[in-house]
């Protein structure tokens, strides 16, 4: 593993560069194909509304994939992610307009662990609401 961040250079509270991830209907169709998750709540508005959703929603796993990018971009080596977990608390609603939605992700070092590992806590919001809970990654630093 070859993370470009050294354990000695971080402390509890070190902030990772935040990022914004846009998502529109085309993004969701592409993700459905790449992931094999063709649940119609992620692309069929009529179906989504019928099952009680406000509109089409993003795959939770899509949001999870975007959130960890803040960590993997920081690390350089995505292979340095040792653990990663999230709770899906609120759906990311993706309207069929020219804007779609934007997931904002920030992260900070929450704990220094042994073996040059640290725990990073992530915050992911969309339209001002938290969409992931308990979003945490353990990463191996250099």
* Interface contacts to another protein, rule CB under 8 A: 1-2, 21, 27, 30-31, 33-37, 60-62, 64-66, 68-69, 72-73, 76-79, 81-88, 134
Nearest alpha-carbon partner for 125 in 99, 107, 108: 107
The distance of closest approach from Cβ of residue 68 to another protein in the complex, given in angstroms and rounded to an integer, is 5
Alpha-carbon span 22 to 72, nearest angstrom: 18
Q: With respect to another protein, which residue has the nearer C-beta, 15 or 33? A: 33
Handedness of CA 75, 80, 86, 91 (dihedral sign): positive
The distance of closest approach from Cβ of residue 94 to another protein in the complex, given in angstroms and rounded to an integer, is 14
The distance of closest approach from Cβ of residue 59 to another protein in the complex, given in angstroms and rounded to an integer, is 9
Q: With respect to another protein, which residue has the nearer C-beta, 79 or 96? A: 79
Handedness of CA 39, 42, 46, 52 (dihedral sign): positive
First to last CA, the chain: 8
Residues in a beta bridge with 108:
15, 121
Q: With respect to another protein, which residue has the nearer C-beta, 11 or 49? A: 49
The distance of closest approach from Cβ of residue 130 to another protein in the complex, given in angstroms and rounded to an integer, is 15
- Residue 17 φ then ψ, to 5°: -60, 125
Q: With respect to another protein, which residue has the nearer C-beta, 8 or 51? A: 51
The distance of closest approach from Cβ of residue 60 to another protein in the complex, given in angstroms and rounded to an integer, is 5
Q: With respect to another protein, which residue has the nearer C-beta, 66 or 104? A: 66
SS3 93: strand
């Amino acid at each position: 593993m070859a993370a470009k961040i050294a354990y000695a250079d971080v402390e509890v509270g070190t902030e990772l560069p935040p990022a914004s991830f846009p998502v529109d209907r085309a993004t969701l169709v592409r993700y459905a194909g790449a992931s094999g998750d063709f649940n119609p709540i992620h692309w069929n508005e009529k179906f989504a509304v019928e099952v009680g959703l406000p509109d089409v929603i993003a795959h939770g796993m899509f949001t999870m994939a975007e959130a960890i990018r803040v960590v993997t971009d920081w690390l350089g080596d995505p292979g340095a992610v040792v653990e990663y977990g999230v709770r899906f608390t609120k759906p990311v609603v993706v309207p069929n307009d020219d804007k779609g939605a934007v997931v904002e992700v920030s992260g900070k070092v929450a704990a220094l662990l042994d073996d040059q590992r640290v725990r990073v806590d992530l915050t992911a919001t969309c339209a001002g609401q938290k969409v992931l809970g308990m979003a945490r990654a353990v990463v191996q630093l250099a």
